[in-house]
Amino acid sequence: MVVDSGSTDKTVEICREYTDKVYHRSFRGHIQQKNNTLDLASHEWVLCVDADERISPELAREIEAEFSANSSVYTGYFLPRRTYFLGRWINHCGWYPDYKLRLFKKDLGRWGGINPHDRVTLKGGATKNLTGDLQHFSYDDIFGQVNTVNKFTTIFAEQMEEQGTGFGLCSMIFRPMGRFFSMYFVKMGFLDGVPGLVISVMGAMYSFLKYAKCWEMQNTRNKNEGRK
């Protein structure tokens, strides 16, 4: 089953070569879109894969073996996601193994979190970590990563503004510094070479921008309310 939110290339045509279950849903947020997709599923189990992700052959074989042996033991499976960036697989920076709960019983799982960082919450039951990789092709280049960082930090700030969550100057100063130190040194991003440095700097920039945008939105709102 494929849910498309208005792609302008040949995505829909290609998908229809493999399944007749191709649906269109206007995009109203990552969490909302994935829960709408979950409602369309008709089987007991669901495996959620984003457009920039692939199931590795090793993971596919592992899932098949798991279900033939223990189909009733667990209610969900965490998949280790490995990201490909700047010509190599990233093994550090906290990017691997980036476990994601993507295979679970439909009736027990629901998407939540804060847009754009969605996650699945299970109502109960035991889970298991698999070892085969969920391959993630997130950015073609640094330009694409910068665009994504800008877009995602705006979404995050809008969510925080809606919830009325405030952040001070200290968040803008110290959290980006802590993020870089954690990714590059503690989580050994330096072992990934230049890509590891880029990822760590971008991580710090992501942290700074989301809090700076929160401040900007709150400041604008306060000024507008002061004019009333």
Q: Given a cut of 70, is residue 13 above it in pLDDT?
A: yes
8-state DSSP, 177: H
Residue whose entry in the numeric block shows the structure tokens 């092709």: 137
Report the alpha-carbon distance of residue 228 to residue 220 in Å, rounded. 13
- In this structure, are residues 37 and 118 in contact, taking their beta carbons and an 8 Å threshold? no
- In the chain, the percentage of residues whose pLDDT exceeds 90 is 81
- In this structure, are residues 187 and 93 in contact, taking their beta carbons and an 8 Å threshold? yes
8-state DSSP, 101: E
Tokens of 101: 């709960």
- In this structure, are residues 189 and 93 in contact, taking their beta carbons and an 8 Å threshold? yes
User: Around Cβ 140, how many Cβ atoms within 10 Å?
Assistant: 11
The least confident of 2-11, 187-196, 200-209 is 2-11
At 140-151, the pLDDT tens digits run 999 999 999 999
* Domains of the chain and any CATH numbers: 2-136 (3.90.550.10), 142-227 (no CATH)
CA–centroid distance for 210 within its chain: 16
At 45-97, the pLDDT tens digits run 999 999 999 999 999 999 999 988 766 689 999 999 999 999 999 999 999 99
